[in-house]
Structure 1
Amino acid sequence: MKDFIVDYHVREKLKNFYLRKGRWLIHLLYWAYVYILGQVRAEEPVWAWEGFLLNFLFDNWLIIVFYYLYCLVLVPAYLKKERYGRFWTVQAIAFIVLPVADMYFQLHFQPYVPKQYQDYDFRDFHFRSHVGQFYYLYFMNFLLFSTFLFLMETAESLTNYREEQEAEEVKLQHEKMLLQTNIDPAFVMHALDGLSALSANSDTHTPDAVIRFSDILRYRLYRSNEARVLLADEIAQVRNLFELQNSLYGPCCILETEGDTTGKFIPTLAMVNIAEPICNTFQPGHEWQLIMYLLIEDKQLHIAIEWNAALAHKESVLAAIRQNLTHFYPEESAVLDTELMDYNYSIRISLPMHYTAT
């Protein structure tokens, strides 16, 4: 059933391919050229019903059958589906039979056509010489038609390539926007549970924790539409995240920085989306600690993370961090190295710096 559905969609896509999207106009222009050229050679008016019927259709109807059998049946039904044996077999039969049929058609019916429209001299009919003339005519038409279709295919391929590139860019932009605006439900639930516990215990850290939590949400929601933010603002949000974690669960996160942040930019949420997946792994009652060192250089931001946790599935967290970096740095300009020793996970990340917001 699946193969039938796929085959149906393929047939629908290929059916009348060379006539859709305005391509029929190219066919119309081509045949108009053939018709006008025939009228000029016969020294007849450009538009005349007699010329159209006897000079154009009479001479070309089997060539037209040959052409449209080729481009509307053989190419989509066989060539495009890689059924090359059938394609060339039917094409060879058509090429052998139709020129001969056309020759005998002209031989028997041309005497009934006005003399100015008679293109062939059959007074001294000789099969080999005359059939060779028709084979040459059909062969040249085949080359011309194949070139004609090839140009159509090339134009379509270029259009499809541009559309695919644009669609891929739009997809990446939407994925990046979703990544930036997507708030991890685990983070929200853990934070709300922690804030509820602080409030129930009338903890003095409750007001600061609520402010920090709201600031984190506000930053993700309202700054995520910016391509880049000041490095100082991004570091401030990571610090907010760490301080919230410390308020909820006690001192477990440390952030240390070295270097000048002035005039330096970074993709929005690039650092927050590194720290947040790790923070979400906190489990009350289990040993857990996160230390992040930032070394800020002129062109690079070096991040060293020491993460100590009794967590069996650390690789899934690392995979999330890699995915985030891929979206923020699609050119593979970000470098990530890891080292695991017992419960301690060492992560080293190098990110390129920017000096403009766009």
Structure 2
Amino acid sequence: MEKLFSIMNKSMRVLTHIIVWIALLLLFMFMGSNGKIVQKTVVVFVYFGLINITIFYINYLFILPTFLNRKKYLWCAIVILFLLLIASFVKCGLAYYYYDIIIKRDSGKHIMAFWDYFMSAVFVSCLFIFLSAVLKFVTDWFSNEKIKSNLENEKLISELAFLKSQINPHFLFNSLNNIYSLAYQKSEKTPEAILKLSEIMRYMLYESNEDKVALADEIRYLENYIELQKLRFKDNSYIKFEISGEVETQKITPLVLISFVENAFKHGVATDKDVPISILLNIEPGKIFFRTINKKSNQNKDETGGIGLQNVRRRLDLLYKDNYELHIQDKNDIYNCELYLNL
């Protein structure tokens, strides 16, 4: 199918060139003859037009791709000069063959000298070589821009896939540590934690593969994660998760908000009644405000460098560009993340 589309595109380009040249020749014939097709009109605008079109495509299709693209500038200039001389001599030969039509002017009152006609033929040939060079540079520029755009898109897709793939092992590593802690304590909540983790992983593996997911699904994913974290602390956890606004009609890039919540639990204190982990999601049409506030823990340092927030910041740059603002306040005892996101 791709090969068929390529053939169709080439055929359309060829057809477009043919139509443009025919239209130009007919236009000049009509203008030069005041609407009357006579022998002089045919000779000047068809025979000489075909020579100029031939010059155009010899330069466009053969000379420039063969020499200029390979940076053989001297050879390119030599071959173009040779083409100019050959074409101009052919035009002169054709002009003297139609001596009475081309060389004689004003009913024989004015006869062009050979070199005058030769230089005018060189000038016109140069014009068509220039036009073919302009077309070549313009088409090459658009082609290069398209290739560049495709490469950038492929790079973007690859980078996003890599960043997303980092989320799973990073999240899994932290969650398994939590479940290990429950199992080590022989907690009765260990099976429940494993079930929550299973639901979370199912969402990450199967439901978050789209570019955008329902915000309601993302919120359920966050709620499951928070419930999983609460199991670590039994009844001693203090977490506030507040949601306001219309949820059902909004969509969001999956797995963007989780890093902020995960960071709050990993580096925060969830057992302080006076300073609970606070998670706020305010939803408005086409935009959200998301905030996490946590008291900083002195015992839980990220020795691996904290790839979570670096990851999400890079994903926001790639996916939302200028449509988000991320503010992080790292105070002595409090860590505050605020995300303004245009959906």
Q: Same fold (TM over 0.5)?
A: yes
Q: Retained in 2: the 8 A contact 1:295–1:303? A: yes
Deviations 1:61-117 (A, max 9, x none): 86566434422344334555666666556545654x336533664488x3xx8x89x
In structure 2, distance between residues paired with 1:345 and 1:338: 8
What is the Cα deviation at residue 204 of structure 1?
0.7
Q: Which amino acid is 1:336 matched to?
A: H
* Aligned with residue 71 of structure 1, among 30, 37, 60: 60
Call closer, same or farther: CA 1:349–1:56 in 2, change over 3 Å: same
Query: Structure 2: which 5+ runs fail to align?
Result: 1-8, 271-275
1:205-354 to structure 2, matched below 5 A, reads 205-224=189-208, 225=210, 227-230=212-215, 234-248=218-232, 255-258=239-242, 260-263=244-247, 265=250, 267=252, 268-276=254-262, 289=269, 292-297=277-282, 299=284, 300-306=288-294, 307-308=296-297, 309-314=300-305, 316-339=307-330, 346-352=335-341
Secondary structure (helix, strand or coil) at the match of 1:270 reads coil
Is 2:9 the partner of 1:42?
no
**Compared CA separation, residues 313 and 187, structure 1 to 2 (3 A):** closer
2:65 counterpart letter in structure 1: P
CA contact (8 A) 2:196 2:228 kept: yes
Q: How far has the Cα of 1:322 moved from its partner?
A: 1.0
Structure 1 Cα separation of the partners of residues 170 and 236 of structure 2? 18
On the 8 A contact 2:323/2:341 being kept in 1, the answer is no
Cα deviation for residue 319 of structure 1 reads 1.5
Q: 1:194 Cα deviation (Å)?
A: 5.2
Give 1:312 deviation, angstroms.
4.0
SS in 1 for 2:327: strand
TM-score, normalised relative to structure 2: 0.62
User: Please, what is the CA RMSD of the aligned residues?
Assistant: 5.2
- Distance across 2 between alignment mates of 1:297 and 1:89: 70
Q: Which residue of 1 aligns with 2:89?
A: 101
**Aligned residue pair count:** 310
TM-score, normalization by structure 1: 0.60
- Does residue 185 (structure 1) correspond to residue 169 (structure 2)? The answer is yes
The answer to whether structure 1 residue 133 and structure 2 residue 117 are counterparts is yes
Percent of residue pairs bearing the same amino acid type: 18
Counterpart residue identity of residue 350, structure 1 = L
Cα 1:171/1:250, change in 2 over 3 Å: farther
How far apart, CA to CA, are the structure 1 residues paired with 2:264 and 2:17? 63
Change (3 A) 1:205 1:273: same
SS in 1 for 2:292: strand
Cross-structure match for 1:10 = none
